[in-house]
Chain A
Amino acid sequence: MLRPGFVIILFAFLAGWLYPAPISSNCRTRPPFAGYSFISPLILNPELNGAPLFVDFEALERYYERKGNPQIQGNIEEWYERFCEVPRFQDIGVVVYQASITDLEQLESAMRSPSIPLSYYLRENSFAKYLLKNKCAETVNYLIFAKRCEPFVTRNDAWADAPNTARFRMQELIEEGLQAFRRTKSHYIRLRYAYQIIRLAHYSKEYRQVLELHEYLMPKVSNDPSIIEYWIMGHQAGALLALGERVEAAYLFSRIFENCPSKQESAYRSFSIKTDEEWNACLVRCENDEERATLYAIRANNPNSKLIVEMRNIYGLAPDSPYLTLLLIQELKRLEKHLLGVSFNDKRRRNERYYGIPTREAGQRVIELQRFATQVLDEGLIRDEALWRMAEGYLAFLAGNYYDARNAFQLAKKLAAEDSPLEEQIRVFELAMEISAYQSITDSMENRLAEIRQYNKLYEKYEDFSDFTDDKMYQLYRQNGHEGKAYLFQYTLDQLKPNPQPDILDELITICNKPNRTKLEDQLVARGDSTFLYQLLDMKATHLMNNYQFEAALETMKQMPRVEWDNYGLYYPFIDRINDCVHCKGWPDNISPYNKGELLERLLQLEYEARAGTGNTAWNYYQIGLALYNMSYFSYSWKAMDYYRSGASLAPANLKDGDNVIPNPRFPYGNQEHFDCKQARFYFERARLATDSLNFAAKATFMAAKCERNEYYVNRWREGAAQAFENFGLLVQNYSQTPMYQLFIEECKYFKAYALRE
């Protein structure tokens, strides 16, 4: 619908579009702001004038969504009141907004002739029946007229062009409306005709006509106060603005803002002051200080206004102005965003980078608001002392002065009504302050925090407590060298698996095995639940395997019952394959898989036998090499020594720091890949040297060549890197007559290319 002042709003919106956006903004998508908020919308009365405009609370927005469009709501409420609250509220809405002209004309006919029924749509409508029964012909005729005006004053299709005849038809309707106005006896219906007529003139851009009609019609209407007067005032102000009478227009918009909730937002958007002269003239035009305070409140509503300045202005004029409360809460919210938990917020750098928050000036703003709050409380002229005391406490908390904050909260609690939203708000702030104030780690602190986390209703109700506490404790534990506990306040164990950290694992295993855990430790390690512990043990064993510490890894596995081993993966690392594959399936039925513990035992046994020379030494070495190769990044049993593998890890950009750890936003320590094939190559070379069989030696040499190739591939980014073909050379020189050699030629194109080149 085309609202009054639409054109002005349009210009205001377009101000930022006149120039295309800077190039620097193109490629970035800003991450969301990450902070905490504990201010509850419930401490504000949602009906307070301007509440949804001044304070950007989702809860307030939802409240108004439930109430619906304020103009429609206000209009129906007024009809409801005028008809003595007899018809049902919803039925009024149906007649005014949904019924067609035909429905209304049939209603009008039914009034004249009892034989004509109401239309099917309105047959059960209490408002229609009321109008019929009381023969409210003037009301029905007005509703028909309003329906006819509708296409010219509402925005049904923004893309459609206005018909060429619109202007002419609107003038015709104005004339018809004037005739009806003169015929109508009810002053309330006259007022509504006046609204329709003046609105038509405004949308026709006949601004002088708007003012003339206003001057002609309004003295002829004498009625009880109505919101329609403010709607008319909106069109009058819009016309004045278009005609350059900016001060009077601004004044009228401020009156609408003050007195008419259904038009408050549009009045705010249309209010326009360009110069100091206009502002001063508008202040002079106001009839009293309350009206002047409203001007400052409108100015304060600008998203970037300096609220403390405007609060002082308003306080100087009207100390009990309700706007003060709104602005106070709004400024507290702004400061909370800058300062709450800023010392431990793990997204602080991101907030600074993308939002410039916290600004250097935020601390100064807290001090200024504290000064103002103290002044206000000392002078005792405001309405809500408890709220201001609470604000005093919260500001002290944000400034890091917990002692003063505690005292202020105590005073505020004495003033606040029991079980009121304000009292709850104070307790929420106290709880946040308690958590924020933790400085050292003690059993009593941990037990207390565990109870808060588990039982405190406010902790549960205010969802930011969880993140707030996690960030605070993460920082506190890290500062005190408790990496394991710190870790669990931010991440899950699964996020650690791609690169298990021994310090974290050891601390958590120790906590699991601790006889007298605190309640918080119980919460963190799932009360030492065996599944949690075994998961930690499996991760530690995997980490040790990665470092070829097989004895230590086996000892770690043995800390869990042997029957549990199968739960942590089954592997087939002793199967030979000429060509590599990472996701092979379909293993032969006659081969039994190994769990991690068994695999470690087998590897240690093979090593022992090889060293002792009690079995086939060459075969034993080969088996170890084969398992190590297959458990590396490059082969199918990689899951025995790793939890996460990415094909992208081999990209040169990921290799260049040489630590084999690839950063990943999901994993705090990144993803460590097991690229190493040196150890496997070592065993293949020992197998070749230990065997008498040329064919077996060929096989071991071929596997060593694969290790050699992988080593090059992982290091290819280094300056001067060149691929060595030492083992391929050996194969060609020494083993070309073996059946295995022929098999490699047939199966491995890579080798075949090399051999033919030779």
Chain B
Amino acid sequence: MLLSCQQPRERVTTPAFYHWQTRLELSPQEQSLVKELGVQRLYVKFFDVDWDPELQAPVPLAQVELAPESYSGLELAPTVFLTNRTLERLSGAEVPGLAGKIHDKIFSLAAQDSSLHIREVQMDCDWTATTREAYFELLGRLRGMLRERGVSLSATIRLHQARFPARTGVPPADRGILMFYNIGQLQQWEEPNSILNLEAAEPYLKGYEPYPLPLGLALPLFRWGVLFRDGEMIKLINNLTEERLAESPKFQALGPARYEVLEGTFLEGHYLYPGDRIRLEAVAPEQLFAAAERLRELPWPDTLEVVFYHLDGVAVSQYAPEVLDSLYKQLARE
């Protein structure tokens, strides 16, 4: 009786964005979107770390260039994408050194903007059972260094990792961001939408228990075309739109969001052969609302950061500010 008389607990949600390009220079439209949503934090990919086969060592790639005047007033959380193959090839003794290099590189890139005050750094890595040990060791080292500067460390968490923490391990970070996308079977032609497939996600959501780390939530705002050749998925073509294919006589619609190439042609820098097939994938607002409806039932922390992946022209053109506003607010109610 007592329980039934309690008010439903309010959850506070805040919006944020990922920025995944090599130059952080927000367009006026992007600035406007950020402002209208009341976004205060941008997770900015500062660089990637990949293994250089020539040097036989990890190297930083695609280092960010900052244009501070375009994002003034926003807090930046440097994000570093680390490839699994780097961890696979790295010896245990090299892990502390890499942690130090990542740490130093973040702050040297941040020096491009003298007004920058970093409070959080995020690591993004799709670790596996074989790379977990090295990755967690690296996170632990990095976290120690950041703590001395009063900076916290967060890590991206894939859905299966969030669902089975005992099996996959919990990264030694201060918090995590659950990446709720890339859920379906990308490689299968029959897949309806690998970016956001609630049916495929359901087994992971059923019986979901609170994650050992405080979690934020990342939702997808991107689109791509998945290119199949001879029955095999061979490429992703980013930001590919339906109009681009529908308007060309070189493509024939096979069904909703599915096309076949009729005549050899270059598309966004990729040469396509007759017989190639493309599945277009994007996330409609109603799909995002359905996901939010399902996700809000999960045991989130009282303060939930909803991070949209990612801020670019597509996000601006495809998602109205009021849609994104309702979306993150929808997750506020428990």
Contacts and interface: CB of A to CB of B under 8 A. Distances in A.
Interface of A: 10-11, 13-27, 29, 158-159, 161, 272-276, 278-279, 299, 302, 304-306, 309, 356, 359-362, 365
22 contacts: A11-B62, A14-B61, A17-B50, A17-B81, A19-B238, A20-B156, A20-B182, A22-B185, A22-B186, A23-B160, A23-B204, A29-B128, A161-B108, A272-B269, A273-B269, A273-B271, A274-B268, A278-B266, A299-B271, A304-B232, A356-B187, A361-B230
B60 interface: yes
Given A158-B57, A158-B60, A306-B229, A23 B129 contact: no
Contact of B183 (A10, A19, A23): A23
Contacts of A279: 266, 271
Contact of A19 (B160, B224, B268): B224
B266 A274 contact: yes
Nearest to B98: A159
B67 to A, nearest CB: 16
Contact of A23 (B62, B108, B182, B222): B182
A228 B159 CA distance: 53
B273 interface: yes
Contacts of A309: 264, 273
A14 B62 CA distance: 8
B203 to A, nearest CB: 11
Interface in B281-298: none
Contacts of A17: 48, 50, 81, 83
Contacts of A26: 126, 128, 158, 160-161, 168
B52 interface: yes
Nearest to A299: B271
A359 B160 contact: no
A304 B48 contact: no
B41 interface: no
Contacts of B158: 20, 23, 26
A10 B266 contact: no
Given A22-B186, A24-B186, 16 more contacts: A11-B62, A14-B48, A17-B81, A19-B222, A19-B238, A22-B185, A24-B183, A27-B160, A159-B59, A159-B104, A273-B266, A273-B271, A276-B266, A304-B229, A304-B235, A361-B230
B231 A356 contact: yes
B5 interface: no
Contacts, number: 108
Interface residues of B, number: 53
B119 interface: no
Nearest to A159: B101
B7 interface: no
Contacts of B238: 15, 18-19
A22 B128 CA distance: 12
A349 B50 CA distance: 33
Contact of B126 (A20, A276, A306): A20
A275 B266 contact: yes
B234 interface: yes
B94 to A, nearest CB: 13
A159 B265 CA distance: 40
B79 to A, nearest CB: 11
Interface string B192-224: 001000000000100000000000000000101
B136 to A, nearest CB: 15
A302 B271 contact: yes
